[in-house]
Chains A and B, each alone.
Chain A
Amino acid sequence: MQKDESTMSPVPEPRPSLAEAAADAASRRALARSPRAAFRHGVVQTLPFLIVIVPFALLFGVVATEAGLNIAQVMGFSVLVLAGASQFTAVQLLTDNAPTLIVILSALAVNLRMAMYSASLLPWLNEASRAQKAWISFALIDQSYALSIQHYERHPRLSMPQRLAYFGGTAVMLCLPWMLFSWVGATVGEAIPDGIALDFAMPITFLAMIAPMLRTPAHLAACFVAIAAALLLAGLPSGLGLLIAAPMGMATGAVVEARSDTRAAAQEG
């Protein structure tokens, strides 16, 4: 199986390097941290991500307000859904006057990858209480997942309180700014006069999110098939083409990946 940051296996594989990693200085520091210090460590390591989160949240607030949502609805999205790409997806489809069911299904599809995050964190957080797991689930976004899983795999001997505190630090520093700056963006958006070419803000945002994902032939194939199908099906009622084109792209990615796995295995054997 190919290894990149989006293909974490659900169960961490034992690695020979873990024993050495635990012995080095960074690990000694990590293992010595009180939960409070582990929380602060999570906060500090999250700071660079604010360069993306803050403008992204501002943009969502502005674009959603321009599309016709009021501030309460913008905040409803950013607090209750708390998932940037799917929020943009829902607002775009609302703008296209797509049927409610299609808006919901498409935006949920964008979030399906989070089931993978949930599975991948479980071995590290299995001993947490039900309430703790419930809170983690609420704040499980791309960046809090990526930071935490890296931290847990780097320092496998962290105690449960240290793991939870680190996740808490990343989550607070990511989710609160997302909510706050969505609100700022919505406030600004209400003051922006209509007629500025903001219609294209959302397509540009989506393209910017997609481009860095095109890492492997399978990702490229999935993207290409999804685009071709979406363009061919563009005549269908709004949103329906997406609901057919997206699964075709997903299946293409899966097939291409399975094939390259088989080929790699054949070469090794």
Chain B
Amino acid sequence: MQASDLTIWTIILVLGVGTYLIRWSFLGALGNRELPGWVLRMLRYTPVAVLPALVAPLVLWPEATGGAPDPARLAAAAATVAVGVLTRNVMLAILAGATTLFGLLYLLG
């Protein structure tokens, strides 16, 4: 990464304060105010929209292969999602993905 120490610390501090304010929002400042329904709906879908959008290009065009789709990494991604959906268990899904990745990288040389 190219970011300087100053940039990284700026990100940590702004992110720390911002995240705190999000957590403190209703408990500390907004009180019992009702949120409009559409705001609640948007909030509900933030993780399930942000994280896939972040990860999709990384899966399809991994940096380690210079952006070329890679069978081992695609299979590892598929195994992770499949085990995650079936078991609802984050650690099992990570294990499945890691095993697939290292297994295939070893087999395919």
A interface residues with partner B (beta carbon < 8 Å):
6-7, 10-11, 51-52, 55-56, 59, 67-69, 73, 76-77, 80-83, 85-86, 89-90, 92-95, 97, 100, 103-104, 106-119, 121-123, 125-126, 130, 133-134, 136-138, 140, 197, 199-214, 218-219, 222-223, 225-227, 229-231, 234, 241-242, 245-254, 257-258
Q: How far is the CB of B98 from chain A (nearest CB, A)?
A: 6
Contacts A7-B44, A226-B49: A207 and B54 contacting too (C-beta < 8 A)? no
Q: How far is the CB of A103 from chain B (nearest CB, A)?
A: 5
Q: Is the CB of A112 within 8 A of B46?
A: yes
Instruction: Name 20 extra pairs, CB < 8 A, besides A122-B32, A212-B89.
Output: A55-B91, A73-B5, A83-B19, A106-B50, A113-B43, A118-B24, A130-B28, A136-B27, A137-B23, A137-B24, A202-B58, A207-B59, A210-B51, A219-B45, A223-B48, A249-B50, A253-B42, A253-B48, A254-B38, A257-B41
Q: How far is the CB of A255 from chain B (nearest CB, A)?
A: 8
CB of B107 within 8 A of chain A? no
Contacts of A95 in B (CB 8 A): 1
Q: How far is the CB of B6 from chain A (nearest CB, A)?
A: 10
Q: Which chain B residue lies CB-closest to A136?
A: B27
Of B11, B40, B61, which is within 8 A of A116 by CB?
B40
Q: Is the CB of A6 within 8 A of B9?
A: no
Give 15 CB contacts A-B under 8 Å.
Answer: A6-B44, A10-B26, A11-B32, A100-B7, A100-B11, A108-B18, A122-B26, A122-B31, A208-B91, A210-B51, A222-B49, A223-B49, A241-B57, A257-B41, A257-B45
Determine chain A's interface SS by DSSP, over half rule: helix
Contacts A104-B14, A121-B27, A200-B76: A254 and B32 contacting too (C-beta < 8 A)? no
Contacts of B90 in A (CB 8 A): 52, 56, 208-209, 212
Q: Which chain B residue lies CB-closest to A133?
A: B27
Q: Is the CB of A227 within 8 A of B52?
A: yes
Q: How far is the CA of A248 from the CA of B41 in the complex (A)?
A: 13
Determine chain B's interface SS by DSSP, over half rule: helix
Q: How far is the CA of A218 from the CA of B40 in the complex (A)?
A: 14
Q: Which chain B residue lies CB-closest to A59?
A: B94
Q: How far is the CA of A73 from the CA of B44 in the complex (A)?
A: 30
Q: How far is the CB of B13 from chain A (nearest CB, A)?
A: 7
Q: Which chain B residue lies CB-closest to A212?
A: B88
Q: Which chain B residue lies CB-closest to A68?
A: B1
Q: Is the CB of A115 within 8 A of B25?
A: yes
Contacts of A250 in B (CB 8 A): 42, 45-46, 49
Q: How far is the CA of A28 from the CA of B40 in the complex (A)?
A: 35
Q: How far is the CA of A111 from the CA of B18 in the complex (A)?
A: 9
Contacts of B76 in A (CB 8 A): 200, 204
Q: Is the CB of B25 within 8 A of A118?
A: yes
CB of B68 within 8 A of chain A? no
Q: Which chain A residue lies CB-closest to B49?
A: A249
Contacts A197-B105, A203-B55: A210 and B84 contacting too (C-beta < 8 A)? yes
Q: Which chain A residue lies CB-closest to B101?
A: A200
Contacts A6-B44, A85-B47, A89-B50: A115 and B22 contacting too (C-beta < 8 A)? yes
Q: Is the CB of B42 within 8 A of A211?
A: no
Q: Is the CB of B54 within 8 A of A89?
A: yes
Q: How far is the CA of A6 from the CA of B25 in the complex (A)?
A: 18
